[in-house]
């Protein structure tokens, strides 16, 4: 029968110095569904939506003989599943059968009915293909309907109750592998994150605190705590716009604010570049900087909506932004869309490419670093105009689509496809023009041709004038 090709490194396609390698073939299923293919595929036509976070885990769990990576599982799950629960089961079963050869990963998987957190890691060094043992360790926990969850590059699932099948799923080796590898002694309460996850790092936990503190400030959570609840009930209903803005956060207004202090430079730049070990102060690891929620090196950002009271083609919606969240525009793409603009489906990272949407946003983001305090206000004004328009028009657009769908589903799908693509093309055109405008606006340290210099506090801090006067 038909087969499907399996690859490693799909999420790194097009990135300089990275390769995609062919692994082998597995049987194809009779029916597959359309999905949005990207570094980490995020939505299918049945409005199953996936968000990804890497947590790596214990190196003893890695097994290079495993065929599956997290992005390959996402591809297969979205192609084959119609609900969040089914997609998780498919991914888990495939990883068990063919082996998981990736580091620890977490996926938020939602549909119009349920939201789940799925976590997976390798089986350890003793597994081999064809053995009767599962080739992966995985667990999934459902999130209560009125709760919010945040996962930021570390394992979050703790105590599990496999008898409660409404809220938990797992591979059959979830306990035995931990015992066999010396990660759990078999006594006391089993905590998935304690057995399989990496050690705590405030580099990651701080983002958990920040999101939970923004959405449920009444809890007064400690920013220095090592563990937070897996999910909490927010103080008020969370909107799409709330999530958009949270993903743009740099801890503004807190003791960890990345836009203030010497490290932010004279112009309040929150971006902190990676610091190689050769130049780090002694005793400081890679995580010496706070890590913002909005990272300058982010490839793309999404906010997903799954609505069970609409046909999936219209009810499923991902607000997609290229590059860094703080300098992007969230553009709505519907689950039923049959195409995206060429600029969103082509373009490489190893050369500057004006046919690529990603480069438009990356270009603007990098130009903003010249004078962040000025540039970010210009960028905010631009993305606010677009997003206000898109969010305001959303109910009307969807009403038109739903009315069309009743009599002519194909016409409705064409309508939402053309609508989204039109918005996307408008935004990309504007962002290229914005980049050209910023080149002038920030040229040679001036702001629109006017000399504004540096702030007084920074001049004093760096000893301005000390070497030019006696």
- Name which residue leads in pLDDT, 281 or 174: 174
394 vs 375: CA distance, rounded Å = 29
Strand partners, 21: 8
pLDDT at residue 469, rounded to an integer: 85
pLDDT at residue 60, rounded to an integer: 87
- pLDDT category of residue 275 using cuts at 50, 70 and 90: confident
pLDDT at residue 91, rounded to an integer: 99
pLDDT at residue 13, rounded to an integer: 79
The answer to whether 79 and 44 are in contact (CB under 8 A) is: yes
Identify the weakest region by mean pLDDT among 252-256, 283-287, 411-415.
Answer: 283-287
Mean pLDDT of 121-129: 96
pLDDT at residue 18, rounded to an integer: 79
Mean pLDDT of 39-68: 95
The mean pLDDT of the chain is 96
Burial of residue 89 (CB within 10 Å: 0-12, 13-18, 19+) is: middle
Per residue in 292-319, pLDDT tens?
999 999 999 999 999 999 999 999 999 9
Per residue in 393-411, pLDDT tens?
999 999 999 999 999 999 9
Does pLDDT of 19 surpass 90?
no
Could you tell me the two tokens for 314?
């219209």
Does pLDDT of 124 surpass 80?
yes
Mean pLDDT of 439-445: 96
pTM for the model stands at 0.96
Strand partners, 159: 191
- Name which residue leads in pLDDT, 58 or 151: 151
Per residue in 214-257, pLDDT tens?
999 999 999 999 999 999 999 999 999 999 999 999 999 999 99
Name the E strands within 12-130.
21-27, 49-56, 104-110, 115-121
pLDDT at residue 63, rounded to an integer: 96
- pLDDT category of residue 151 using cuts at 50, 70 and 90: very high
- pLDDT category of residue 201 using cuts at 50, 70 and 90: confident
430 vs 166: CA distance, rounded Å = 47
Per residue in 65-111, pLDDT tens?
999 999 999 999 999 999 999 999 999 999 999 999 999 999 999 99
The answer to whether 301 and 249 are in contact (CB under 8 A) is: no
Does pLDDT of 158 surpass 80?
yes
pLDDT at residue 202, rounded to an integer: 84
pLDDT at residue 282, rounded to an integer: 86
pLDDT at residue 323, rounded to an integer: 98
Q: Which of 314-341 are b and which e, b meaning 16 or more Cβ less than 10 Å from the residue's Cβ?
A: bbbbbbbbbbbbbbbbbbbbbbbbeebb
Per residue in 327-374, pLDDT tens?
999 999 999 999 999 999 987 888 999 999 999 999 999 999 999 999
The answer to whether 174 and 155 are in contact (CB under 8 A) is: no
């Amino acid at each position: 029968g038909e087969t499907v090709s399996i690859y490693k490194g799909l999420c790194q396609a097009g990135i300089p110095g990275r390769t995609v390698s062919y692994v082998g073939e597995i049987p194809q299923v009779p029916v597959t569904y359309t999905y949005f293919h990207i570094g980490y595929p995020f939505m299918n036509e049945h409005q199953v939506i996936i968000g990804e976070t890497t947590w790596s885990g214990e190196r003893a769990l890695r097994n290079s003989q495993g065929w599956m990576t997290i992005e390959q599982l996402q591809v297969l799950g979205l192609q084959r599943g119609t609900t969040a629960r089914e997609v998780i089961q498919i991914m888990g079963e495939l990883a068990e059968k063919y082996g998981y050869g990736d580091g620890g990963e977490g996926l938020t998987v939602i549909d119009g009915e349920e939201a789940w957190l799925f976590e997976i890691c390798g089986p350890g060094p003793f597994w081999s293909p064809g053995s009767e043992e599962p080739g992966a360790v995985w667990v999934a926990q459902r999130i209560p309907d009125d709760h919010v969850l945040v996962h930021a590059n570390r394992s979050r699932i703790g105590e599990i109750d496999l008898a409660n099948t409404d809220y938990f799923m797992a591979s059959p080796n979830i306990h035995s592998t931990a015992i066999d590898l010396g990660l759990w002694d078999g006594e006391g309460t089993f905590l998935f994150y304690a057995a399989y996850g990496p050690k705590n790092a405030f580099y990651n936990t701080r983002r958990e605190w920040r999101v939970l503190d923004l959405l449920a400030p009444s809890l007064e959570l400690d920013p220095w705590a090592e563990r937070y609840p897996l999910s909490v009930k927010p103080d008020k209903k969370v909107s799409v716009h709330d999530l958009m803005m949270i993903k743009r956060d740099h801890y503004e207004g807190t003791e960890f604010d990345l836009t203030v202090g010497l490290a932010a430079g004279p112009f309040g730049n929150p971006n902190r570049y990676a610091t190689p070990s050769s130049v780090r102060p002694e005793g400081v690891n890679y995580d010496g900087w706070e890590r913002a929620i909005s990272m300058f090196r982010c490839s793309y950002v999404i906010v997903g909506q799954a609505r069970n009271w609409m046909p999936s083609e219209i009810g499923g919606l991902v607000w997609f932004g290229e590059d860094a969240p703080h300098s992007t525009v969230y553009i709505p793409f519907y689950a039923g869309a049959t195409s995206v603009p060429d600029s969103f489906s082509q373009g490489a990272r190893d050369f500057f490419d004006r046919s690529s949407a990603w480069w438009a946003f990356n270009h603007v983001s990098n130009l903003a670093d010249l004078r962040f305090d000025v540039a970010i206000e210009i960028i905010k004004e631009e993305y606010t105009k677009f997003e206000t328009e898109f969010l305001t028009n959303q109910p009307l657009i969807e009403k038109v689509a739903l009315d069309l769908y009743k009599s002519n589903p194909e016409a409705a799908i064409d309508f939402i496809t053309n609508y989204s693509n039109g918005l996307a093309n408008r935004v990309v055109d504007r962002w290229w023009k914005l980049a050209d405008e910023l080149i002038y606006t920030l040229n040679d340290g001036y702001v629109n041709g006017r000399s504004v210099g540096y702030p007084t506090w920074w001049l004093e801090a760096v000893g301005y004038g000390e070497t030019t006067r006696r």
